[in-house]
Structure 1
């Protein structure tokens, strides 16, 4: 009887433990259900499209404003140039001669190589005093003394190149050396102001560069990935006793044939 009582007690303890475990598991399940994290609501496709349309409209408006400002600056630049030409056309010969001399002096003062620039400047000013029509050419807004010296340098290079060809000489170290008569430099300076198509006056054409709108990027899951390319199979090695044709052999066979 005592043994049976002990067995009964052990069975009851096992049942109690099982009940406690089951009750604990139920408590955990109910706790996890009660405090389960809630995912934030995903934006609807229509809302995303509306937001994208709003951003695109803001970008287009800013781009239109930037283009309008650029066009206004270009128009202002052309207007100033035309006003300068109109003012020049209204000047008397005496005024334009004096203004051209001042213009040449101011432009030349910014340059280097003082001995050369002063001589050319004085010659151009003398021509302005002698010829009002030439003085008007000097006052053209596109004409500048710095471009005048670029013109002279180009002409001097062409002159020396032709002189070396005539004398069957080659440039030393890739450079050209020689003497250019002073009168030729003065002549080229006057020629520059009379040349309405001098390439030294050409300015790069300014163009409006539009910007690209970068909209929403595709989702990472939808990006297509390039499949890795399979490596080309390696050619089988040639037998050791196979003869190889060289250029020397080819030449010998061709000569023999």
Structure 2
């Protein structure tokens, strides 16, 4: 996925009200930017951090800048939670997710279950439909280990229960965790953050929901799905 260009570098002053942040630009200007991330962003919103911004193409938008990346000593992190579905969608179209290859049709945001929408519904004439949920991952509290979630998520637990029901009905179902970091080589749940989600995860996996995790290649120009990561 190509990021909006050109990207502009700055220094984070503070993040507040979840969706806002103040950033000092390299020319000395202080701007308020949109932060497309409702999560806790643990370890990613520290004052003084290097950040990369994109400029809005809509001249009528109130906030002219959007926060896209944060730079850590260990690597780059994508903080925009609207991007994982786009990244995974491109990878599906290119056949780069081995476990999900061979499906002729990939439909996004299909209604199913109890007032839910599945991120992708994969279908082909010779196999069961596959219901695919995508989760963004950017929490890392130990070197090399990506974790999910970074805050309690009732919605995430609901999605796991919906996927379980699809398996019970004879379909295939998978939950793909996309790690928007370049410094992680393995993945684990964070049960101390949300025990209920962890319990729903265990139940879904035991019922036959497939669990996948992939890393990303990240530069100021693009974010691409990269390698499968081992799941602890």
Q: Same fold (TM over 0.5)?
A: no
Higher strand share: 2
For the pair shown, the structure with the greater C-alpha radius of gyration is 1
| TM bracket (short chain) | under 0.3
Higher helix share: 1
Using structure 1 for the length normalisation, give the TM-score. 0.21
Using structure 2 for the length normalisation, give the TM-score. 0.22
